[in-house]
Structure 1
Amino acid sequence: MELKWTDSQDIALELLEKYPDVNPEFVRFTELFDSVVKLAAFDDDPKQFNEAYLEAILGCWIDEK
């Protein structure tokens, strides 16, 4: 499955699986950005992100945690 910036729920699940010991409440946006673009399934243009995408991903990650 290829992940795009708009796939916040699926990205959050991937982050939860890859970083099970990370508390997302303390993740900075710069760290979140780096973590997302490093996901094997991520297939979107890193330059096309915006803060709203990161907020949505982080919110989903916190909810899933």
Structure 2
Amino acid sequence: MKWTEVEEIAIQLSDAHPDVDPLKVNFVDLMRWVMALPEFDDDPARCGERILEAIQQAWIDEVA
């Protein structure tokens, strides 16, 4: 899984952290949690604020 697969990342984050409100996750933790997902395999240097915002929004949409 790569940084651009925001929908799949959001689904996996929702499964991995069911009690977490995605609105309250800071980007440092979000990036760390994404990189810890078992299927994630991408370069951390390819991640930026826009990608993290997209992941966070997809996660919010996933749990809504």
Q: TM-score range by the shorter chain?
A: over 0.9
What residue is the counterpart of 1:44 in the other structure?
42
Distance 2:54 2:27 in 1: 11
Q: What count of residue pairs does the alignment treat as equivalent?
A: 63
Following TM superposition, the consecutive aligned residue runs of length 4 or more in structure 1 with deviations greater than 6 angstroms are none
Unaligned residue ranges in structure 1 (runs of 5+): none
3-state secondary structure, aligned to 1:35: helix
What is the aligned-residue RMSD (CA, Å)?
Answer: 0.5
Alignment of 1:1-65 (within 5 A): 3-65=1-63
Taking structure 2 as the reference length, the TM-score comes to 0.95
Distance 2:26 2:55 in 1: 12
Unaligned residue ranges in structure 2 (runs of 5+): none
The percentage of aligned residue pairs carrying the same residue is: 46
User: By percentage of residues, which structure has more helix?
Assistant: 2
